[in-house]
Amino acid sequence: MPEASERRAEPRVEFAGPCLLSRLSDNDPPQPGTISNASEHGASVSVKAALPLGDLVSLEVGDDLFVATVAHCEAGSDGHSIGLELLSGTARPKLRADLTYFTVTSPGISLAS
């Protein structure tokens, strides 16, 4: 039987790569970090600064962009391990195409470049 800390609704896939993590509630610059694993609805990211539980964030991994909430944050020797609950995601080129479509079809919407 898995340990209590390892009970998950779905399996995590090990993944090591760079990412950017941004709080959506402020104008601070994104934090560079490293994503270590992910599943369909969650991810684990290492960054320098702590984030408050429940904070809404964006996670950029390559051309993929996700909106997530901070599920846990633990201090480590060289930063913080952030557990994210992924709420939504899309590939950045598709997002840009969708936003362009909406600005053409809805004159009241404008894109900041």
Helix (H) or strand (E) holding 101: helix 92-105
Residue 38, helix vs strand vs coil: strand
Nearest alpha-carbon partner for 93 in 49, 60, 56, 50: 60
Whether the Cβ atoms of residue 90 and residue 112 lie closer than 8 Å to each other:
no
Residue with the larger pLDDT of the pair 102 and 52: 52
Distance, in Å, from the CA atom of 21 to the CA atom of 101, rounded to the nearest integer, reads 27
Residue with the larger pLDDT of the pair 111 and 78: 78
Q: State the pLDDT at residue 44.
A: 94
Q: State the pLDDT at residue 47.
A: 97
Q: Which residues pair with 82 in a beta bridge?
A: 45, 73
Average pLDDT value for residue range 79-108: 74
- Is the pLDDT score of 78 beyond 80? yes
Residue 67, helix vs strand vs coil: strand
In this prediction, residue 106 has a pLDDT band, given cuts at 50, 70 and 90, of low
- For 31-65, the pLDDT digits (tens) are 999 999 888 889 999 999 999 999 999 999 888 88
Task: Determine the residue type at 29.
Answer: P
Could you tell me the domains of the chain? 8-105 (2.40.10.220)
